[in-house]
Structure 1
Amino acid sequence: MNILQAKQEIKNAIKAYLMTDENGDYRIPVIAQRPILLIGPPGIGKTAIMEQIAAECHIGLVAYTMTHHTRQSAIGLPMIVSHTYGGKEYSATEYTMSEIIGSVYDYMASTKKEQGILFLDEINCVSETLAPTMLQFLQKKTFGSHKVPDGWIIVAAGNPPEYNKSVKEFDIVTLDRVRKMTITEDFSVWKSYAYERGVHPAIMTYLEIKKENFYQVETTASGKRFVTARGWEDLSYMIYAQELLGEAVTETMIGQYVQHPKLARDFANYYDLYNQYKDDYHVEEIMSGKIRPETVARIREARFDEKLSLIGLLMGRLNEDFKAQTEKNHFVEQLYEVLGSIREMPADQALAALDAAILPLDEKADRRLIQTLYKYKGHLEAGKDFEALKAMFEKEVDVLEALTQTAGAHLEAAFDFMEEAFGESQEMVIFITELNTSRPAMTYISSNGCERYYKYNEGLLFNSSRDKLLQDISQMRRYADFMGI
C-alpha cells in the first residue's frame, strides 16, 4: 500500500481501538489492540502521517527514534529493593520508570490528553541488547514492568533490509501479535503532499517527467547510491535558500541530497534548463495576462518534456498564490471565531477569553495568530473598545480579499495561455490533473470557484476518453524518451 492508504488504515484502527461501549469499556479489549507495524523505505513520510493522524483524530502523539536509545533508557535503571519471601527478607532488582513510558505520562499531564499514539521509529534496527526488549514491547505492550497507559495506541515503524544492513527480522510469534503494513513509494501520492509543502517546482516537474528517479537505491562496489522523498524535499529547501542568496545551485550541492551521482548530474542539468525555460517563456508576463505570439508558437512546436516544464512553471507560480490565500483565509477565520466569541463581553471577560484562546495554541504553528491575539489584548488593556479590534480585523480581511483577487486573476491568465497555446488537448488534461493534485489549488477553487476549471475538469478528465488520453500521454513520453526529444 502507499503512505496515504496506510494513513487511512491507521486512522480506522485508532477509531476502532478507542471505541467504547455503554459502560465506558473499550469494545476491543486492550490486550487485543494489536500494535501497528509499518515497514517501508526511509523518508517516505511515516513520521509525518503520525503527526497528521494525531491532529485529525484530536489525540496526543509521543514519538521516539529507537536507534537513539539503550536498554536502560527503554526499561529504566536497575535499583535494589527489599522483599520478603517465605518470611525472610531478600534483596531484589526492580527498575526505575522507563524514559519512554514516563514521557507518555508527562505528555498526558502537560496536555490533558488521555489518549494518543506512541510512535517508535526504526524499531527493527535497534542494538542487540535492546532487541529482546522491543520484542517484549510488541508482544506485551510493556517496557520492563512498565505498561503503556490504556488509550495509547502503539505504532512502530522500520525499514526493509535493502535499506539498512542493521535490520533484524521479526519472528512469527511477534508478527502474529501486530498489524503489519508494508508501504511502498508512490510518486502520485507524494506529489499531493509536495504541492502542499511547496516543494520547488523544478523538482516537481523533473519528477513528473522522470518518475523512475523519485526513489532509487543501488548497491555498487563503492557503496550505496540512493535518493528518497526526504532527499528531494530537503533539497527543495536548499534550492529556495540558494536562490534567495543569489548563489548557484550546483551539481556538487545537489549530490549532497541526491546521493546518486548519475541522478544528481541529471537533475542539475534539468535545473539549468528549467531556469532557461522560466526566462524564455516569461511566466510572470503570462500571469499578468500578457501572451506573446512567439511564446505560443514556440511551445506548440516544443518537445513534450518542455511542455511539461512550462506547465510545471505555471503550477509553481499558481501554488504560491493559492498557498498564500488559503493560509490567510484560515488565519482570518480563526480571528473571526475569537472576535465573535468576545464581541458582547465586558473588557475583563474579553481579556480572560483571549487568554483562554491563546492557551491551547501551538507556539510554533500558530505563532502569527498568537501575536495578533496579544495585540488585541494590548488594545483592550489600554482601554480601547471592541471597535478598535474590529478595525484591525478589517485590515486583515482587506489583505485576504487582495490575495483572493490576485490568485483568481492569475488562474484565469493561466487558462488564457493554456487555451491559446493548446486548446482542448492532452496538455490541458495535464494542467487540470495538476490542479486536482494540488491541495492548495483545490482549497482555493472549492471556496472561490473557477468556471473554466469546472468546464475542463468535467469535459476532459471525467468523460469516457480520459483513460485513453492519459494512455496517449504515457505513450508519447515513452516515444519522446526513445527518440531523445
Structure 2
Amino acid sequence: MHAQLTVTPARLPDVLLNVAVVRPVFLWGAPGIGKSSMVRQFAASLGLECVSLLGTQLAPEDLIGVPTIVDGRSRFCPPEQIARNSPYVLFLDELNAASPDVQKAFYSLILDRRIGSYELPAGSVVIGAGNRATDQALARPMASALVNRLVHVHLRASPDDWLTWAANNGIHPWVVAYLTQRPDHLWSAPPKTEEPFSTPRSWHMLSDVLHSYGDPVDDETVALLAYATLTPKHAGAFRAYLKVARHAYDLDAIVKGDARWPAEPGDRDLLYFLAETFRARLAKELPADRRHASAGVRQFAFRAKAMLVELAEISLEVAQLVIAEGEDGGTLPSWFLVEAARDLPRLVAART
C-alpha cells in the first residue's frame, strides 16, 4: 500500500489513543522499525494486556475455534487466548501475510468485534500490523472488504525519536554516538538479496551483542558484529567511526584547522568515513539559497572549499564523493557547487 502521509514513533501513541479506541487500526511499516514494540507500549500505557496473534502462524480454526455440542446444538468455542472477560489490546501482527482464509476469519473480529457468540469486552482495542510488498517481505494482497474495515496508519523511522529512546534504554554508547553523527544510517531499504540491513531493531541487536562482549572489543570483533547486523556499507562506516574515536580523529578539529585529513594508506577507511560525515554535514547546514546563509554558514562554506582541496590532495576519488549525488539522490546546494568550481583553482594555487 502506498503511503500518502506517515507518522513518527513519537506521534503514534497520540494517534492510537484517539483512533484505535474507536476503530480498528492497521499499522504499516518496514521490517524492524518497531511496530510490535510500540503496540505493546501503547497497551501498557492503557493498563491493558497485549495479546499478539501472528498471522503467518494461524489457521482459520485458531480464530473461529472448534465446535462443541451444547444442548444438542453445535457451538463454536473461541480459543482461550482470545476469549477473555477483561478488556485487552488484540494485536494482529503480520495480518496481511496471513492466508486469505485466515484474513477472512478476521473480518467479523475486526468489524463487529465478535467471533461466533463471543464478543470482545467493552474497552478492548484491535490493532493490526504488517509490512509492505515493497519491503521484500512476505505480504499478500488484502481483500477490499478487509482494507475497508481498517484505519490505515503508515509509520516511518525517526532518528530523533530513536535516539531519545536509546538514551533512556541502555543502548551502547558507541551506537548512540555513531547515529548522532549519521542519523541517515538508522534505516535502509530491505535489499533484494539475503543479507543484513540496518533498522532500529538491528542497531538494537548490535548494541546488545556489544554489551555482551564488554570492553575492550577488538577491531576484528567489532567488524564481525557490525557486518552480522547492519547494511554492509553502514557496517564499514561504523567500524571506521570506532577507529576515528580510538585514534582521536575528529571532523570538528579538521574544520577548525587543528587537525588534517588522515593521509596514511592504512587510514583509508577513516578517510572515507570522515568524508561521508563531512558531506552529510554540508547537506544539513548549507541552505538551498545562499541568501539564507548566515555569516557563520558562509564562513563554514569557505572553509569547506579549502577542505575539499586538502582532501583532493590525498584522494581525488574521495573528494569527488563529497560533491557527488548522494545515495538518496540528493545533491549539495547548487550555489555551493558553483562557488566550489569557481574558487577551487584559486585555492589550489594558493596552497602551491
Is the Cα–Cα contact under 8 Å of residues 8 and 156 in structure 2 kept in the other structure? yes
CA drift of 1:246 comes to 5.4
Quote the Cα distance in structure 1 between the aligned partners of 2:294 and 2:140: 45
Question: Aligned match of 1:180 in 123, 127, 152?
Answer: 152
- Cα deviation, 1:131-167, whole Å, max 9, x if unaligned, reads 2212343222233443221110111111111225421
- Report the secondary structure of 1:266's partner residue: helix
**Which position in structure 2 is the counterpart of 1:61?**
50
Question: Aligned match of 1:163 in 135, 141, 144?
Answer: 135
Is the Cα–Cα contact under 8 Å of residues 136 and 191 in structure 2 kept in the other structure? no
Question: Aligned match of 1:5 in 5, 8, 11?
Answer: 11
Quote the Cα distance in structure 2 between the aligned partners of 1:473 and 1:57: 51
Ranges in structure 2 where 5+ consecutive residues have no aligned partner: 1-6, 263-280, 282-291, 309-317, 323-352
**Which position in structure 2 is the counterpart of 1:194?**
166
Quote the Cα distance in structure 1 between the aligned partners of 2:144 and 2:93: 20
Is the Cα–Cα contact under 8 Å of residues 135 and 190 in structure 2 kept in the other structure? no
From the superposition, tell whether residues 256 and 72 of structure 1 become closer, same or farther in structure 2 (CA, over 3 Å).
farther
Ranges in structure 1 where 5+ consecutive residues have no aligned partner: 18-32, 84-91, 109-114, 282-295, 307-429, 431-465
Quick check: which one's helix share is greater?
Answer: 1
Matched, 1:301 2:257: yes
- Cα deviation, 1:431-470, whole Å, max 9, x if unaligned, reads xxxxxxxxxxxxxxxxxxxxxxxxxxxxxxxxxxx99699
From the superposition, tell whether residues 71 and 230 of structure 1 become closer, same or farther in structure 2 (CA, over 3 Å).
same
Amino acid at match of 2:244: L
Quote the Cα distance in structure 1 between the aligned partners of 2:131 and 2:174: 29
**Which position in structure 1 is the counterpart of 2:272?**
none
- Report the secondary structure of 2:157's partner residue: coil
Question: Aligned match of 1:36 in 25, 39, 45?
Answer: 25
Quote the Cα distance in structure 2 between the aligned partners of 1:470 and 1:42: 41
**Which position in structure 1 is the counterpart of 2:238?**
267
Question: Aligned match of 1:227 in 198, 207, 210?
Answer: 198
CA drift of 1:60 comes to 3.6
Residues matched between the structures, number? 275
**Which position in structure 2 is the counterpart of 1:238?**
209
**Which position in structure 2 is the counterpart of 1:77?**
66
TM-score normalised over the length of structure 1: 0.48
Q: Highest Rg: 1 or 2?
A: 1
Quote the Cα distance in structure 2 between the aligned partners of 1:164 and 1:48: 21
- Cα deviation, 1:335-360, whole Å, max 9, x if unaligned, reads xxxxxxxxxxxxxxxxxxxxxxxxxx
Quote the Cα distance in structure 2 between the aligned partners of 1:470 and 1:9: 40
- Report the secondary structure of 1:138's partner residue: helix
- RMSD between superposed Cα atoms in Å: 3.9
CA drift of 1:9 comes to 0.8
Is the Cα–Cα contact under 8 Å of residues 117 and 152 in structure 1 kept in the other structure? yes
**Which position in structure 2 is the counterpart of 1:124?**
96
- Cα deviation, 1:4-28, whole Å, max 9, x if unaligned, reads 11221112336xx4xxxxxxxxxxx
TM-score normalised over the length of structure 2: 0.64
Pairing 1:314-333 to 2, within 5 Å after superposition: none
- Report the secondary structure of 2:128's partner residue: strand
Quote the Cα distance in structure 1 between the aligned partners of 2:62 and 2:17: 29
**Which position in structure 2 is the counterpart of 1:95?**
76
CA drift of 1:271 comes to 2.5
Is the Cα–Cα contact under 8 Å of residues 78 and 118 in structure 2 kept in the other structure? yes
- Report the secondary structure of 2:211's partner residue: helix
**Which position in structure 2 is the counterpart of 1:379?**
none
Amino acid at match of 1:175: V
CA drift of 1:128 comes to 4.1
- Report the secondary structure of 1:219's partner residue: coil
Amino acid at match of 2:189: V
Quote the Cα distance in structure 2 between the aligned partners of 1:95 and 1:305: 72
From the superposition, tell whether residues 305 and 243 of structure 1 become closer, same or farther in structure 2 (CA, over 3 Å).
farther
CA drift of 1:471 comes to 7.6
- Report the secondary structure of 1:150's partner residue: coil
**Which position in structure 2 is the counterpart of 1:137?**
109
Amino acid at match of 1:74: L
- Report the secondary structure of 2:134's partner residue: helix
Is the Cα–Cα contact under 8 Å of residues 2 and 186 in structure 1 kept in the other structure? yes
**Which position in structure 2 is the counterpart of 1:382?**
none
Amino acid at match of 2:39: M
Pairing 1:417-428 to 2, within 5 Å after superposition: none
Is the Cα–Cα contact under 8 Å of residues 65 and 121 in structure 1 kept in the other structure? yes
From the superposition, tell whether residues 77 and 188 of structure 1 become closer, same or farther in structure 2 (CA, over 3 Å).
same
- Report the secondary structure of 2:197's partner residue: strand
From the superposition, tell whether residues 164 and 74 of structure 1 become closer, same or farther in structure 2 (CA, over 3 Å).
farther
- Runs (4 or more) in structure 1 with deviation over 6 Å come to 296-299, 303-306, 469-481
Matched, 1:148 2:147: no
- Cα deviation, 1:102-153, whole Å, max 9, x if unaligned, reads 3x44xx4xxxxxx442222211112344222123432222334432211101
Is the Cα–Cα contact under 8 Å of residues 217 and 224 in structure 1 kept in the other structure? no
- Report the secondary structure of 1:37's partner residue: strand
Pairing 1:343-362 to 2, within 5 Å after superposition: none
